[in-house]
A and B are shown apart, each in its own frame.
Chain A
């Protein structure tokens, strides 16, 4: 009984972390799906989202606003706005001028952008870990034995629900809306879409903005869940999300969701049953295996040469 509870507890931990990986992974996968480049600055966008949320929460607290739903919604909106603007600006400054060149060039530009943003936040916010207020406390026990109680915290539930809402909204947007249809068209054939009168520049910008907004959501959620943020925490989260995107099949949105969940659960089971030391070994080992044996990922379509 206890072993079963322990398993479920680790499953909950893994799904929580996995669903936030999925949120970040969407940004990688959408950009890749449309212009075939890896936006390595995406992890930094997520980090900036978390900082913006923290600054907003602190600001609201000094103004005396303490009603939790209001605080969360304002923080979320501010983080999404700033991150989206940042995603848009990054695309304009660092990627659009080099779009269509050799694949390596936008990649290097992206890495440069990532280093720039990291150091910018270092300078602006200091390099220390900053505590993030835990706004959502408590949880409920979903099963207990003599010595072990399996718990879901309200924070974890918040993460599940928010992720679910975001994912559903995104799927509806992509499959139903006009812009969504244009996105799909651009991802199938950028040149042809352009000929047919789709403003591809606008669609590409929109992709960056959507990815950044979702990353900001993840930034706020994870900031609250973990309890501290620092200018470097976007980097490792970015790598994990990138792994998730590749795992699920880069370019595929359901793939990113699936990849995120698998990675999260995999990590949590590794630290739960083996040792925390092997957590990153397993996630990046998984990346290598997928690249070796199924480079298109779990849900990816076989690659038709792009560009």
Chain B
């Protein structure tokens, strides 16, 4: 088969022109990339509901520079491979601003693509320090870092004067990163670390691990990872009669841990971002969520809301929809958002972000510990 070069060239230039026309329409697309399905989809729900609400409210107030925001949603299943596919299709769709991804292990590979292709990314949930450590220009977050969360947990454990501490993690970027930060803090404080060990994410049988924890006679267990595994560990530990205080990062602090662990979740300690929905200046926003039948209390709802708002504010401030100009505007400015006043350092990290220790209860509620 032969196709004349001329015809091909015409076809290509026509399709390029079409794509360009698509971008020039009076809309600003905001990609929202996170897990809609998969084992951590409940965090995705928080992300999508926060971002959707922000888009809706910004549009109701006249949009950005007279243009409407349009949310385009992508499902990465919190799987690094899927995240790369999502990032590529997002670039192909001509989206230039992304709220996402959620899991650090997805955000990391996706951010390589965004940086190369000139897409501005704000993750509302990924806390691994490596993500902003590579000198990327277009990568930001609206959440703290493991290196902030780890010391909070480590200092708290040390203040309880435990005799022997075990640290378990799921060998993933997020879990191991945070577990390492906790270990380093505990070492500095001179706490005896009896075990530092990985498990396989998705594993179900922890009987051997629990026997080992009993044998090591630990009184504190820190788990770096997500709730599906910790839920099972808690439950199987209770059945096996292991008497230790468990603690985990914000990745375990959601109501699904209660359906897995049941009563065994009572008393679990969790470091979480402060409850932004409790802040008095956010009550209007909280009401808007409740009127829409959404739950604003999840840890990533308002961080996602903030991510969208920052993109909008950045565009306004830069007076441009070029991601590089917007990134520059974000770095130089100071923004009032539902998570407080946001200022960025050179790397794209928040200049300040607090984590608070909560005690989790078997009915899915939490109370601050101090």
Residue from the list B198, B212, B235 in contact with A227, Cβ < 8 A: B235
B159 adjacent to chain A (CB < 8 Å)? no
Structural contact, B215 and A148, CB atoms closer than 8 A: yes
Say yes or no for B37: interface residue by CB 8 A criterion.
yes
- Once bound together, how far apart are the Cα atoms of A233 and B39, in whole Å? 11
A222 touches B212 (CB 8 A): no
* Docked-complex contact A236 and B202, CB < 8 angstroms: yes
CB distance from A46 to the nearest CB of B (A): 12
Q: Is B262 an interface residue (CB 8 A)?
A: yes
Q: Which residues of A contact B67 (CB under 8 A)?
A: none
B: interface residue count bin: 35 or more
B295 within 8 A of A: no
- The docked-state distance in angstroms from the alpha carbon of A131 to that of B214 is 24
The answer, yes or no, to whether B171 is at the interface (CB within 8 Å) is: yes
Among A10-18, A27-35, A61-69, A245-253, the stretch in contact with B: A10-18
| CB of B260 within 8 Å of the partner chain | yes
Q: Which residue of A lies closest to B231 (CB)?
A: A228
**List of A residues within 8 angstroms of B42 by Cβ:** 128
Cβ of A277 within 8 Å of any chain B Cβ, yes or no, is yes
Interface size range on A against B: 35 or more
A9 touches B211 (CB 8 A): yes
**Is B260 in contact with A228, judged by CB distance below 8 angstroms?**
yes
Q: Is there an interface contact between A226 and B232, defined as CB atoms closer than 8 Å?
A: yes
Residues in B neighbouring A139, C-beta threshold 8 A: 239-240
Q: Kindly count the residue-residue contacts between A and B in the assembled complex, taking CB atoms under 8 Å apart.
A: 107
Q: Cβ of A91 < 8 Å from any Cβ of B?
A: no
B236 contacts the other chain (CB 8 A)? yes
Chain A hits for B199, CB < 8 A: 276-277
Contact present for B207 and A6 (CB under 8 Å):
no
Interface residue A153 (Cβ < 8 Å from any Cβ of B) = yes
For the complex, is A137 an interface residue (Cβ under 8 Å from B)? yes
Q: Which of A6, A131, A222 has the most CB of B within 10 A?
A: A131
Within A272-299, which residues are at the interface with B (CB < 8 Å)?
A: 272, 275-277, 279-280
> With A129-B39, A153-B239 given, is the CB distance from A277 to B198 under 8 Å?
yes
Give complex CA distance A272, B42 in Å.
33
Besides the known contacts A134-B235, A236-B203, 8 further A-B residue pairs in the complex with CB atoms under 8 A apart: A6-B215, A127-B38, A131-B261, A131-B262, A226-B236, A267-B208, A276-B203, A277-B197
Residues of B within 8 A of A (CB): 37-39, 41-42, 171, 197-200, 202-205, 207-209, 211-212, 214-215, 217, 228, 231-232, 235-236, 239-241, 256, 259-262
26 residue pairs bridging A and B, Cβ less than 8 Å apart = A2-B215, A6-B211, A9-B211, A128-B42, A128-B256, A131-B261, A131-B262, A134-B235, A153-B240, A155-B239, A226-B236, A227-B232, A228-B260, A230-B39, A230-B228, A236-B202, A272-B212, A276-B198, A276-B199, A276-B208, A277-B198, A277-B199, A277-B200, A279-B200, A279-B208, A280-B200
